[in-house]
Amino acid sequence: MKSNKHNGGFRVPENYFEGFADRIKDRLQASGGAGLPEETGFRVPGGYFENFQDRLTQRLAGEQPGDSRGKVRRLWPARLGWTAAAAAAVILLVTFWPASTADALGFEDLAQTEIQRYLEDDGDDMGAYELAESLPLEEIALSDVLESLPEEDQILDYLNQDSETVDELYWNGDE
Amino acid sequence: MSNEADLIARLQDPSRKEAAFRTLLAEYQERLYWQIRRMVISHDDADDVLQNTFIKIYKHIGTFKGESKLHSWMYRIAANEALSFMKKRSRRLGVSDEGLQEYLVSNLEADPYFDGDKAQLQLQRALARLPDKQREVFNLKYFDEMKYEEMSELLDTSVGALKASYHLAVKKIESYLKEINA
């Protein structure tokens, strides 16, 4: 078996991990009293999968522009439409041109609450505890949590400075 | 050219897209349905999410670059659709994500499309108490018997983290079942 420096010299029996999932499954089934079910118990209505394709095709046809919708009749003649569009464009340009160049919105203009809402709504739902729970220790290196690794001297200084604090942890006040 | 590569090529060719999409549906609809169903619990919700998933697939298949397997790409769309569906539902009901799962499972006994026995109901109750990620990993491993390597590509998570999640999920289910059967 390939040795790994993180294993600290420990070894596991041959093919230990290959059968691991099955062993857990067996143990889980044994713990469920009558045995853990192999199936979920969910059912579908009769003919559901046979008809799904047709139902989806109908829905897709409804969403395709021009496929099944009736012909759209113009409310305004084409020339009048262009005139109205040009007039609207001129009004918008005159109204908003100076403001849009002077006050372009940037990331810093986002309200704090908007950012928080985005993170709450769209961020990963895993909390710090769950995240720590789900990450195996062997995948985390000290460099992942520290920006720069401390020098050996700094570690020794720290241990010497804080030795009294450590003693407090081991000795009760009444001793 | 492999079967999958050929299917993708046909899906991305406008003249052959319709026929290829029917092949895609026939091949994947059931697999994706059960993966969605285990996330959203009720059949009607699973049907909605499955339809939305395939509509997204149809509209965006042109952007599929083939950097992952087709099923992985479709599964991620399905999982995102299911999760956002559940989030909208929990907001509408004013409950947490965990609260929604427990609410859905509590309705299972009256669900006409659930005929599970006591053990199956207990397992669903135990699953409802797990965090989303652990439940997802458990479902893929236990019910789909998916290999960790395949799951790793599907969920974009390392094999080590998946094993840890599955192990934790099993421990929690085991302890819940012991507690209620004591």
- How sure is the predictor about A123, in pLDDT bands with cuts at 50, 70 and 90? very low
Do B2 and B84 fall within a single domain? yes
- CB contact under 8 Å between B55 and A24, yes or no, is no
**A150: closest CA of chain B, how far (Å):** 28
pLDDT at A23: 59
- How sure is the predictor about B1, in pLDDT bands with cuts at 50, 70 and 90? low
Do B1 and B87 fall within a single domain? yes
Q: Please tell me the distance from the alpha carbon of residue A52 to that of residue A60, in angstroms, as a whole number.
A: 12
* Beta carbons within 10 angstroms of residue B177's beta carbon: 20
Q: Does residue A113 register a pLDDT over 60?
A: no
For chains A and B, what is the number of CB pairs under 8 angstroms?
116
- How sure is the predictor about B11, in pLDDT bands with cuts at 50, 70 and 90? very high
Q: Please tell me the distance from the alpha carbon of residue A33 to that of residue A92, in angstroms, as a whole number.
A: 73
Q: Nearest Cβ partner of A49 from B29, B116, B178?
A: B29
Question: Averaged over B151-167, what is the pLDDT?
Answer: 93
pLDDT at B151: 94
pLDDT at B178: 87
Q: What is the DSSP string of A92-143?
A: HHHHHHHHHHHT---GGGS-HHHHHHHHHHHS----HHHHHHHS-GGG--HH
Q: pLDDT tens, A59-106?
A: 888 776 544 444 455 555 555 667 777 888 888 887 766 555 545 555
Residues in chain A closer than 8 A to B29 (CB atoms): 49, 52-53
Question: Averaged over B130-153, what is the pLDDT?
Answer: 93
Do B35 and B85 fall within a single domain? yes
Would residue B67 count as lying in a domain?
Answer: yes
User: Which residues constitute the domain of residue B124?
Assistant: 116-182
Calculate Rg over the CA atoms of chain A.
33
Q: Please tell me the distance from the alpha carbon of residue A140 to that of residue A150, in angstroms, as a whole number.
A: 17
More confident of the two residues B175 and A161: B175
Closest listed residue to residue B122, CA positions, set A67, A123, A21, A28: A28
* Beta carbons within 10 angstroms of residue B136's beta carbon: 24
Do B17 and B49 fall within a single domain? yes
Question: Averaged over B46-61, what is the pLDDT?
Answer: 93
Place of tokens 């993170």: A119
| Token pair listed for A122 | 């769209």
The structural domains of chain A, with segments of one domain joined by +, span 5-35+111-170
**Which of B17, B24, B25, B138 is the best residue to mutate to test the A interface, defined by the most A CB atoms within 10 Å of its own CB?**
B25
pLDDT at A163: 56
3-state secondary structure of A2: coil
Burial of B101 (0-12, 13-18, 19+ CB in 10 A): buried
User: CATH number for the domain including B11?
Assistant: 1.10.1740.10
Check the CA dihedral B52-B91-B110-B143 and report its sign: positive
Q: pLDDT tens, B87-105?
A: 999 998 898 888 898 889 8
Phi, psi dihedral angles at A42 (to 5 degrees): -75, 145
Q: Please tell me the distance from the alpha carbon of residue B46 to that of residue B79, in angstroms, as a whole number.
A: 11
3-state secondary structure of B131: coil
Would residue B106 count as lying in a domain?
Answer: no
- CB contact under 8 Å between B51 and A36, yes or no, is no
- How sure is the predictor about B139, in pLDDT bands with cuts at 50, 70 and 90? very high
Do B129 and B70 fall within a single domain? no
Q: Please tell me the distance from the alpha carbon of residue A28 to that of residue B173, in angstroms, as a whole number.
A: 8
- CB contact under 8 Å between A34 and B174, yes or no, is no
A136 touching B (Cβ < 8 Å): yes
Do B21 and B52 fall within a single domain? yes
**B175: closest CA of chain A, how far (Å):** 9
Place of tokens 């290959």: A18
| Token pair listed for A157 | 């200084």
Q: How many domains does chain B have?
A: 2
Would residue B180 count as lying in a domain?
Answer: yes
Q: Nearest Cβ partner of A134 from B29, B119, B133?
A: B133
Do B4 and B86 fall within a single domain? yes
Angle (deg, nearest 10), helices B148-155 and B159-181:
100
Instruction: Mention every residue, 6+ apart, whose C-beta is less than 8 A from residue A142.
Output: A149
Do B25 and B86 fall within a single domain? yes
Question: Averaged over A133-144, what is the pLDDT?
Answer: 60
Query: Which among B61, B94, B127 is the end of a domain?
Result: B94
Do B87 and B121 fall within a single domain? no
Q: Please tell me the distance from the alpha carbon of residue B84 to that of residue B49, in angstroms, as a whole number.
A: 10
Q: pLDDT tens, A3-58?
A: 444 455 556 566 655 665 565 556 556 655 456 677 888 999 999 999 998 899 88
Would residue B108 count as lying in a domain?
Answer: no
Considering chain B, what is the average pLDDT of its residues?
A: 91
Q: Does residue B65 register a pLDDT over 70?
A: yes
- CB contact under 8 Å between B25 and A53, yes or no, is yes
The b/e string for B2-22 (b: 16+ C-beta within 10 A; e otherwise) is eeeeebbebbeeeeebeebbe
User: CATH number for the domain including B123?
Assistant: 1.10.10.10
For A17, the closest chain B residue by CA position comes to: B163
Q: How many CA atoms lie within 13 A of B145 on its CB side?
A: 5
Question: Averaged over B59-65, what is the pLDDT?
Answer: 92
